[in-house]
């Protein structure tokens, strides 16, 4: 009997010890799993920080000395022994927080944001878009510029007339200049649109360089978005898994997004939300605008809106401002002047939110960037604006994207090719525009127009264009005077 009791007790003890050991093993396993997870997160965060710092360093390598001086002055940069620049402290905030009567925090408008400017003035400083620099706006200190691979998903928000389309146009022209694949969807597409004052906005230099003709048919937009989210994205994921190049970066835009989403509902909202969530890792990026980022406007949960790493806020909705600009709790922006003549709040993957001014993406700035021949321009340099100037290069029917755009976009990504440097087009027909301009200036001088008026009509109010056109006018005045004497 006693032996039996001892044997039962011994077995129970063994079972108990065994169970204890197993529990200890389980707890150890869980610990080491958690440690690994935390280490991976720390590693990811470290890599993100390194990427961010590297982007800043790359940017500084490529910006002009003047820009660097201004940035070093205002953002506390330090020079490393090897000559590269590194952030010593987080950039000094360019806005002040003031206490409102109703105890609400409000950010005062920084007085130093420069006035309205044309993107041509940016080109006149010698700046050209490249993989390492995409111009976004002028801040209080200097240009706000990001490398192309840090633009990521980008959105401009705000009420009607706040300059959202201009922002998208300014981004698209640069992405096209550096030869990214850009796809434009616009239910109200026209190659030349009119603004509210009836001035023509010429989209042709952009349109002719798109990855495929603009898509304006709703059915085709739905089809393309589904192809992007469920075919192209999935095949990029599979390609990466099998160690193949994922494909060239794609930037796509959907004009008047809220209206499109209202009409198409989940048919577009679902694939769009998927691309916003997952596209970034696979080089598929949205560049667009919306009146706000509210869930009812975007027809999606709040998750995907966190994906916008470049955000332009032109006013109108505090909830959108908070989500888009990563505003700290309790901070409310001053809306004064926002959305007028390019004034915005801007946040990027490498800049905290700040007030800044976007340049006017005039037709002339587009023509100058792409060296559009005079015969293809409208307005001051080129032909007058008639509907006959329009080119019809639109897609009006549903396409098999896997065989057309799909193929074009899916070719393997060569490291240089994907983000290759912008190329200057050597279009000799530019001579034609000079000849036409000379003829025009001559005629106007003979008609009694004065120098300043002619200069102004060429949009040349400052910089190199002013000097060059001014010199031409002076030479012609001299010639006319010598002929009449």
Ligand X SMILES: Nc1ncnc2c1ncn2[C@@H]1O[C@H](COP(=O)(O)OP(=O)(O)OP(=O)(O)O)[C@@H](O)[C@H]1O
Q: Where do contacts with ligand X occur on this chain (CB under 6 A)? A: 116, 158, 160-166, 195-196, 341-342, 358-360
Q: How many CB atoms lie within 10 A of CB 240?
A: 14
CB under 5 to 8 A by kind: which of Mg ion, ligand X, none does 160 bind?
A: ligand X
Give the single-character DSSP code of 89: S
> How far apart are the C-alpha atoms of 264 and 218, rounded to whole Å?
8
> How far apart are the C-alpha atoms of 475 and 485, rounded to whole Å?
15
Task: Point out which span in 119-127, 161-169, 207-215, 332-340 binds Mg ion (CB under 5 A).
Answer: 161-169
CB under 5 to 8 A by kind: which of ligand X, Mg ion, none does 341 bind?
A: ligand X
Q: Are strands 181-185 and 250-254 parallel, antiparallel or unpaired?
A: parallel
Tell me whether residue 257 or residue 476 sits nearer to ligand X (CB atom): 257
Tell me whether residue 369 or residue 405 sits nearer to ligand X (CB atom): 369
Task: Report residue 296 as tokens.
Answer: 């009812």
N- to C-terminal Cα separation, the chain? 141
Give the CB-nearest residue to ligand X. 342
Tell me whether residue 163 or residue 205 sits nearer to ligand X (CB atom): 163
Give the CB-nearest residue to Mg ion. 165
> How far apart are the C-alpha atoms of 304 and 269, rounded to whole Å?
10
Distances (CA, A) of 399 to 150, 169, 226, 272, 402: 31, 25, 12, 19, 9
Tell me whether residue 224 or residue 360 sits nearer to ligand X (CB atom): 360
Task: Point out which span in 133-141, 163-171, 188-196, 354-362 binds Mg ion (CB under 5 A).
Answer: 163-171
Which letter, b or e, does each residue of 266-277 get, where b requires 16 or more Cβ atoms within 10 Å of its Cβ?
A: ebbbbbbbbbbb
Determine the length of the chain. Answer: 485
Tell me whether residue 190 or residue 438 sits nearer to Mg ion (CB atom): 190
> How far apart are the C-alpha atoms of 114 and 124, rounded to whole Å?
17
Tell me whether residue 163 or residue 279 sits nearer to ligand X (CB atom): 163
Tell me whether residue 166 or residue 297 sits nearer to ligand X (CB atom): 166
Report in angstroms how near the CB of residue 98 gets to Mg ion at its nearest.
Answer: 32
Report in angstroms how near the CB of residue 148 gets to ligand X at its nearest.
Answer: 21
Residue owning tokens 């990521």: 152
Task: Point out which span in 164-172, 377-385, 425-433, 450-458 binds Mg ion (CB under 5 A).
Answer: 164-172
> How far apart are the C-alpha atoms of 89 and 53, rounded to whole Å?
12
Report in angstroms how near the CB of residue 421 gets to ligand X at its nearest.
Answer: 26
Using rule CB under 5 A, residue 310 touches Mg ion: no
> How far apart are the C-alpha atoms of 100 and 98, rounded to whole Å?
6
Task: Point out which span in 144-152, 160-168, 187-195, 221-229 binds Mg ion (CB under 5 A).
Answer: 160-168
Using rule CB under 5 A, residue 166 touches Mg ion: no
- Which residues are bridge partners to 87 per DSSP? 77
Tell me whether residue 164 or residue 413 sits nearer to Mg ion (CB atom): 164
Report in angstroms how near the CB of residue 113 gets to ligand X at its nearest.
Answer: 12
CB under 5 to 8 A by kind: which of ligand X, Mg ion, none does 481 bind?
A: none
Report in angstroms how near the CB of residue 165 gets to ligand X at its nearest.
Answer: 3
Using rule CB under 5 A, residue 165 touches Mg ion: yes
Report in angstroms how near the CB of residue 229 gets to Mg ion at its nearest.
Answer: 24
Q: Which residues contact 87 (CB under 8 A, 6 or more apart)?
A: 53, 56, 75, 76, 77, 78
CB under 5 to 8 A by kind: which of ligand X, Mg ion, none does 191 bind?
A: none
CB under 5 to 8 A by kind: which of Mg ion, ligand X, none does 162 bind?
A: ligand X
Tell me whether residue 196 or residue 416 sits nearer to ligand X (CB atom): 196
CB under 5 to 8 A by kind: which of Mg ion, ligand X, none does 166 bind?
A: ligand X
> How far apart are the C-alpha atoms of 408 and 402, rounded to whole Å?
9
Task: Point out which span in 33-41, 159-167, 428-436, 442-450 binds Mg ion (CB under 5 A).
Answer: 159-167
Task: Report residue 60 as tokens.
Answer: 């500084």
Tell me whether residue 122 or residue 275 sits nearer to ligand X (CB atom): 122
CB under 5 to 8 A by kind: which of ligand X, Mg ion, none does 163 bind?
A: ligand X
Task: Point out which span in 157-165, 329-337, 375-383, 459-467 binds Mg ion (CB under 5 A).
Answer: 157-165
Complete DSSP assignment for 300-359 = S-SGGGGGEEEEEE-SS-HHHHHHHHTPPTTEEE--TTTTSTTEEEEE-SSS--EEEEPP
The answer to whether the beta carbons of residues 450 and 480 sit under 8 Å apart is: no
Tell me whether residue 166 or residue 348 sits nearer to ligand X (CB atom): 166
> How far apart are the C-alpha atoms of 381 and 458, rounded to whole Å?
7
Largest CA-CA distance found in the chain, in angstroms, rounded = 141
Task: Point out which span in 124-132, 162-170, 195-203, 369-377 binds Mg ion (CB under 5 A).
Answer: 162-170
Which residues of this chain interact with Mg ion, rule CB under 5 A?
Answer: 164-165
């Amino acid at each position: 009997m006693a032996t039996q009791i001892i044997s039962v007790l011994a077995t129970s003890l063994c079972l108990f010890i065994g169970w204890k050991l197993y529990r200890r093993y389980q707890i150890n396993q869980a610990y080491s799993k958690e440690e690994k997870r935390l280490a991976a997160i720390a590693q990811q965060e470290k890599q993100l920080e390194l990427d961010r710092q590297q982007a800043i360093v790359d940017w500084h390598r490529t910006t002009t000395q003047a820009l660097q001086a201004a940035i070093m002055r205002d953002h506390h940069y330090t020079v490393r022994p090897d000559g590269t620049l590194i952030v010593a402290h987080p950039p000094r905030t360019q806005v002040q927080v003031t206490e409102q009567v109703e105890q609400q925090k409000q950010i005062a408008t920084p007085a130093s944001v420069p006035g309205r400017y044309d993107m041509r003035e940016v080109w006149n400083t010698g700046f050209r878009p490249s993989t390492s620099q995409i111009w976004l706006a002028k801040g209080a200190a200097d240009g706000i510029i990001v490398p192309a691979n840090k633009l990521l998903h980008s959105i401009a928000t705000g009420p009607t007339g706040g300059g959202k389309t201009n922002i998208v146009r300014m981004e698209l022209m640069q992405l096209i200049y550096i030869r990214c694949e850009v796809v434009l969807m616009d239910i109200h597409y026209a190659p030349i649109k009119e603004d509210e004052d009836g001035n023509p906005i010429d989209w042709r230099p952009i349109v002719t360089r798109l990855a495929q003709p603009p898509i304006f048919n709703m059915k085709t937009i739905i089809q393309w978005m589904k192809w992007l989210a469920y075919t192209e994205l999935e095949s990029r994921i599979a390609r990466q898994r099998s160690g193949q190049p994922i494909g060239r970066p794609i930037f796509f835009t959907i004009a008047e997004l809220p209206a499109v989403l209202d009409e198409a509902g989940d048919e577009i909202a679902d694939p769009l939300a998927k691309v916003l969530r997952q596209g970034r890792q696979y080089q598929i990026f949205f560049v667009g605008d919306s009146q706000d980022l509210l869930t009812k406007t975007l027809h999606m949960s709040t998750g995907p809106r966190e994906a916008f790493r470049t955000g332009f806020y032109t006013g109108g909705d505090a909830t959108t401002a908070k989500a888009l600009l990563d505003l700290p709790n309790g901070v409310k922006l001053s809306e004064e002047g926002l959305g007028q003549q390019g004034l915005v709040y801007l946040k990027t993957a490498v800049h905290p939110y700040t007030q800044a001014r976007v340049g006017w993406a005039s037709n002339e700035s587009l023509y100058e960037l792409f060296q559009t021949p005079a015969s293809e321009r409208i307005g001051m340099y080129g032909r007058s604006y008639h509907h006959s100037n329009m080119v019809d290069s639109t897609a009006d029917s549903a396409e098999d994207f896997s065989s057309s755009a799909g193929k074009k976009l899916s070719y393997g990504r060569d490291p240089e090719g994907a983000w290759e440097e912008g190329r200057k087009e050597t279009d000799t027909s530019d001579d034609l525009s000079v000849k036409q301009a000379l003829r025009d200036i001559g005629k106007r001088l003979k008609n009694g127009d004065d120098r300043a008026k002619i200069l102004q009509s060429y949009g040349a109010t400052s910089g190199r264009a002013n000097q060059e056109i001014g010199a031409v006018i002076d030479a012609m005045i001299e010639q006319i005077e010598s002929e009449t004497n």
